Structure formats: structure tokens, C-alpha cells
Amino acid sequence: MAGIVNKSNFPLYNTGLLPQEEMLEVKKTNKKLVIGIPKEKSKFENRIALSPQGVELLVENGHTVLFEAGAGEAANYFDNDFSECGATIVKNSTEVFKAEIILKISPFTSEEIALLTQNQTVISLVQLNQQSRESIQRLMSKKVNAFAFELIKDNNGCYPIIRSMSEIEGAASIMIASEYLSKAHNGKGVLLGGVTGISPSEVVILGAGTAGESAARAALGLGATVKVFDNSFKSLKELETNIGQRVFTSVLHPKALTKALKSADAVIGNLRYLQSGLSYMVTEDQVAQMKPGSILIDLSVGQGGCFESSMCTDFAHPVFIKHGVIHYCVPNVASHVARTATIALSNIFAQMILQVADSGNIDTLVKEDSGFSNGIYIYKGILTNHYIGETFSLPSKDIGLLLAAF
């Protein structure tokens, strides 16, 4: 080391006693994403995936949001609400579908699938009752990554979007029941609840899940008598614990259920079925024994329904009367309160997009996050959901094997 003079009293390379620079972990640069929010084509879908606040959060983190003009009007949001928060307002769907991530609520229509390009990521409901074998095949032919947001799990193994929407639907169902029991909708003029000197109205709830618990809370808050039925004793116990008070609970015994239905003013159905061929719990004979002018609200009508007498309706004609009983069978009840539902969805989706950006790309996040990968049903054009494959007689492959290959 000739020619180098050490003017200090310490050895030149012995720096153990000298202040050192702290070695901090260098965070990888977040990928800047382009997210497209198209206008929903479904006539009765009022929700959108991002609220103005959700857009603002993404834009502040360096991402671009392409928002189709008029997409938020059904949820009482307007273009200037989004543009003021940094969204780029575009005139038509063609421009929106140039984004690398397409985020929407309803399943993709044939026209929308035609606008997709290879390697795009599309996130929406899958809703098998609204799908066909051809639509799944068209998505596969586009070689996209397709996610069903109702299947995405969080770190606790729960379905955050389904839980959030179920909570809204449960509370909304009591509000809807109250409307149709009043004279405003030619109901029998019954107050859903209770007042001094008058027997409270009775609400029967089928299913002790999130929607059932939310409906029970709302009905109890109005002063109604609540009876909850479920096949799971554990779920019934958890409902009582969460509500914090004793309510009438029972397993789904036919005689006990029939007796409760006869005196009910409102019945909320929210049962999910896993057995093929089992699409209802309440028979048409049981419905015929209910009080004239009472109301059934079938929150599970999109998955087969809780009542034999159910059939899908929409917001243009939400109810029909059968055996003197009002049937409300709209499959997307959360759209009834679209602005609230949009805010709830946006809170989840905005964080999800930020998570994708932190990972660098979709492929990395799918490999790192098993809850997120649970929502994928088409990966690079390959069907990965075995249930969808069995439903439409299409070949599917395990996502774990594909991730190992790519």
C-alpha cells in the first residue's frame, strides 16, 4: 500500500471504533399500474369497484386509473368526483380495456371479452348461474389471468368481499322487508318492530352466517322478535355470542320451522348449499301456510335459493306474490344500497391493488399469497378452478403445478 499515508493514530483499515453507515434494506421499487374501471353493462348492477377515495389512494401511490365516463352514476358518483381525485375519464370502454388490470363487478360480457388482450388481469364476480361454457372458453382463449373476487381469501382464511357484501345484504334485507310490509308498497301496513302495547312483529332468519347475523342485529334493533335457524349448532352459538343477547335459535327441524313460518311477518333466507340437487329448504307447501301479506327475501336466489317458490327478479320488478306471500328475489341485494356497497368494495380493492404493486406483478403475488391465488380461475389462459371445470365439462389444472412451471 505504498504511497498511502495514514495521518491518524488508528490503523488505516481497522474501523471497528469508527462510526459506520447503517445498512438499511433497500425496498424494491413498486410497479406503477394502470387500472381500468369500465361502466357496468348489467342493467341492474349499480355498484362500482372503486370510490373516489379509493381512486385517490391509488393515484397518490403513482398508479393510473382509467375511468369510463358515467360509470359511477348508478352509485350516485359523478365523473367530476373521480377526476378531482386523479382519475383519467375516458369516453368509451375500448380505452378502459387497454389497462393492464380491469376491475369490475358483473361477469364479463361477450363484447367485453372481445376487448381483452393477452396477459391482462381481469377481476370480477364469476357467478356461475350467469356464465356459460362458451364465455369461459372465450376468456381462456384470450390467455388472461382471471380472478373471481368472491373467492379471494384474507390472511385469516375468510372471504373479505363476501363477508362485507353479506353484512350489507343482511341489514338491507330488514330495511326492504320493512318497506314491503308498509302501505307504501301496498303491504298489509305492519310496522316491522315493536311499540308499547302491541305485540312485536316476527322475523325468521334461515342461516346463521354473516348475513343472518347482520339481519338479526337490524331486526332486534327495531324491536322485532327474531328466530334463527341453521344446521350448524356452532354457527348458532357464535351468532348469539356476537349479538350479545339470547335469541330463539334452532336447527332446521321441519316441524319447528313450519311452526315459525306460520307466525312470521318476514322471512330472510341465506343458506348456501354444497349438495348437488338441493336447491331449497322451505317447500312450497310451507310457504302456502304463511300469513297473507308476509314477505320472503331470498338472499341465496343466485345460488339456487332457499325457497321452492323462489325465482330470480330484478330491480325493475323486484317482487311477485305467490300463495298470498310477497317474494323478493333480487340476486344482488347489495346494489339496493349501491353507494354503501361501493365504499365497502373500494376499501378492499384499493388495498388489493397496492398489494399487487408491492409484489411487482400478479405472478409474484399469486405465488406468495395463497389467499389471493385462491381467487384465480384462469391463469395465463389455463382453467385452474376444478369446480368450474366440472360444471362446464372443461379440463382444468392445479394452480400449484402451473406456478411451479412458470
Q: Phi/psi of residue 325, each to 5°? A: -105, 135
pLDDT of residue 15: 45
Low-confidence ranges of the chain (pLDDT < 70): 1-29, 272-280, 405-406
- 117-175: pLDDT as tens digits: 999 999 999 887 778 899 999 999 999 999 999 999 998 889 999 999 999 999 999 99
pLDDT of residue 272: 65
Angle 370-376-380 from CA coordinates, rounded to 5° = 115
Which pTM value belongs to this model?
Answer: 0.85
pLDDT of residue 43: 79
What's the per-residue H, E or C state across the chain? CCCCCCCCCCCCCCCCCCCCCCCCCCCCCCCCCEEEECCCCCCCCCCCCCCHHHHHHHHHCCCEEEEECCCCHHHCCCHHHHHCCCCEEECCHHHHCCCCEEECCCCCCHHHHHCCCCCCEEEECCCHHHCCHHHHHHHHHCCCEEEEHHHCCCCCCCCHHHHHHHHHHHHHHHHHHHHHHCHHHCCCCCCCCCCCCCCCCEEEEECCCHHHHHHHHHHHHHCCEEEEECCCHHHHHHHHHHHCCCCEEECCCHHHHHHHHHHCCEEEECCCCCCCCCCCCECHHHHHCCCCCCEEEECCHHHCCCECCCCCCCCCCCEEEECCEEEECCCCHHHHHHHHHHHHHHHHHHHHHHHHHHHCCHHHHHHHCHHHHCCEEEECCEECCHHHHHHHCCCCCCHHHHHHHC
pLDDT of residue 180: 95
pLDDT of residue 367: 87
Strand partners, 35: 65, 101
- 75-87: pLDDT as tens digits: 999 999 999 999 9
Q: Please name each of the domains of the chain with its CATH number.
A: 34-151+337-405 (3.40.50.720), 163-331 (3.40.50.720)
pLDDT of residue 49: 96
pLDDT of residue 401: 81
